[in-house]
């Protein structure tokens, strides 16, 4: 299992001179590569400005209404590197098809939580989310990905944003997915009751 020996904020030169220690920014680059390999390229018309800490919960913030994105991690993650990477991996998925607050579906939040849980396993094999709604969404997304690993990438390659994917589109990509799961995944996350 990998360890987190670095501050994740301050980069130090490697003894070999071949680069620097991992930071949140370099980890974000690694996450984006993994995420795009799994779900397709992100919308590059948006500029990622960086990562900051603010408040209690992580989120993406769009300052100035000019296609800029800042990833905000919860302040508690400043002293907990595993939590910081978990939150960063979750927010990374929201970089695929950025949208205003409240527009995410169960599918998008489920993919984000599932991706963050998979990413963090290299540092903490038993890490979980304590939020049952996000955990349930991740479980539904996992059902889709287990049956049709390329479904999201394939739908996005047709120009469909994650938050606009419908239950019928999911069923076309994955006919063996239960209709109730497809319907739940297409539901706006804020309106969804488990």
What is the C-alpha to C-alpha distance for residues 175 and 177, in angstroms, rounded to an integer? 5
What pLDDT sits at residue 7? 72
Q: 3-class SS at 123?
A: coil
- Domains of the chain, residue spans: 24-191
- Centroid of chain to Cα 132: 17
**pLDDT tens per residue across span 100-130:** 766 899 999 999 999 999 999 998 878 999 9
What pLDDT sits at residue 176? 98
DSSP 62: -
Specify the pairing of strand 68-73 against strand 47-53: parallel
DSSP 9: S
Beta strands in the chain (DSSP E): 47-53, 59-61, 68-73
3-state helix, strand, coil in the chain (%, to 5): 50, 10, 40
What pLDDT sits at residue 2? 56
**pLDDT tens per residue across span 137-191:** 999 999 999 999 999 999 999 999 999 999 999 999 999 999 999 999 999 999 9
- Which pTM was predicted? 0.94
């Amino acid at each position: 299992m990998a360890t987190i020996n670095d501050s994740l904020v301050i980069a130090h030169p490697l003894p070999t001179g071949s680069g620097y220690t991992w930071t949140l920014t370099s980890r974000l680059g690694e996450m984006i590569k993994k995420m795009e390999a799994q779900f397709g390229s992100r919308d590059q018309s948006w500029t990622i400005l960086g990562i900051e800490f603010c408040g209690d919960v992580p989120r993406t913030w769009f300052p100035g209404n000019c296609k800029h994105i800042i990833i905000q991690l919860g302040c508690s993650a400043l002293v907990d590197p595993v939590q910081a990477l978990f939150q960063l991996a979750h927010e990374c998925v929201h970089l695929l098809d950025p949208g205003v607050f409240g527009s995410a579906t169960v599918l998008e939040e489920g993919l984000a939580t599932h991706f963050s849980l998979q990413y963090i396993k290299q540092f903490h094999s038993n890490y979980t989310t304590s939020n049952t709604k996000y955990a349930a969404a991740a479980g539904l997304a996992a059902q889709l990905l287990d049956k049709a690993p390329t479904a999201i990438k394939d739908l996005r390659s047709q120009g469909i944003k994650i938050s606009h994917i419908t239950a019928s589109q999911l069923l076309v990509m994955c006919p063996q997915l239960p209709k109730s799961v497809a319907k739940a995944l297409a539901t706006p996350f804020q309106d969804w009751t488990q």
